[in-house]
Amino acid sequence: MMLYSKTCQACSFEFNIKEKTRKFCSRSCAAKYNNKHMPKRKRKQVTKTCTSCASSFRRQKRETRCVTCVENGVYRRHTGLPAVNSQNLTLGDFVQYHQRQGHHKSLYFCEVRAYCRLRNDKLRTACQVCGYSTHVDLCHLTPLASFPLTATLGEVNAPENILVLCRNHHWELDHGIISVKEIPKRV
């Protein structure tokens, strides 16, 4: 068996090896050398068109709307409704759209809940009952089905009508195990 004397390209350490093709004394040296001399490609900045106002913006992740539209609450998801200040949209607008599309009743208010998560994202800190903060839900104090179809999104998703609860306490509230009176006020 023949041993070859080699010099590591990364640290200049002399080592003996059986294979003639090895260039580094260890995997660590190979990684250091390759990271230094062959860096990974940088991510390109992608310019997208806002789905609400049609202006162009630089996308960071998966955003579909520009910062201005997000901050002002201009919202047009896939409803086919015109891009307006979404606080003025009514529950009836969403119901009519989903009925025209032939969707099941359970989908009628899914976008209303999505709008609530977008609009009240700053409230999502910790459960009002136990303080758990890893994953919290925004739940409506007054159920969506009890609002008239003329109620606007601004009324339905007002911060006064929103509770911040962990999944367990949200389920307990929905099933009557705890009452709204037992939930402390948000600070």
Query: Do 131 and 104 share a structural domain?
Result: yes
In-domain check, residue 187: no
Q: What is the pLDDT of residues 18-53, one digit of tens each?
A: 877 888 888 999 998 888 888 777 666 778 888 777
pTM for the full predicted model:
0.54
Taking every pair of C-alpha atoms in the chain, what is the biggest distance, in angstroms?
87
71 SS3 class:
helix
Q: What pLDDT does residue 46 have?
A: 77
The rounded distance, in Å, linking the Cα atoms of 134 and 49 is 33
Please give the C-alpha separations between residue 55 and each of 10, 63, 68, 75, 118, in angstroms, as whole numbers.
Answer: 49, 13, 10, 14, 20
Residue 186, pLDDT above cutoff 50: yes
In-domain check, residue 109: yes
In-domain check, residue 120: yes
Strand ranges (E), 24-90: 46-49, 56-59, 74-75, 84-85
Query: Do 133 and 112 share a structural domain?
Result: yes
Query: Do 151 and 97 share a structural domain?
Result: yes
Query: Do 81 and 66 share a structural domain?
Result: no
Query: Do 165 and 105 share a structural domain?
Result: yes
Q: What is the pLDDT of residues 46-92, one digit of tens each?
A: 788 887 777 888 776 677 778 777 767 665 554 454 444 566 778 88
Q: What is the pLDDT of residues 93-135, one digit of tens each?
A: 878 877 887 888 777 788 788 778 877 778 888 999 999 988 8
Query: Do 66 and 25 share a structural domain?
Result: no
Work out how many domains the chain is built from and give that number: 3
Amino acid at 179: S
Q: What pLDDT does residue 60 have?
A: 66
Q: What is the pLDDT of residues 130-180, one digit of tens each?
A: 999 888 999 998 888 899 989 988 888 888 899 999 999 999 998 999 998
Instruction: Give the mean pLDDT of 2-9.
Output: 86
Please give the C-alpha separations between residue 187 and each of 53, 127, 183, in angstroms, as whole numbers.
Answer: 35, 11, 12
Domain region containing 105: 76-182
Q: What pLDDT does residue 83 have?
A: 46
Which of these, 65, 40, 39, lies nearest to 53 by C-alpha position? 65
Cβ burial of 137 (10 Å; 0-12, 13-18, 19+) is middle
In-domain check, residue 24: yes
Residue 12, pLDDT above cutoff 70: yes
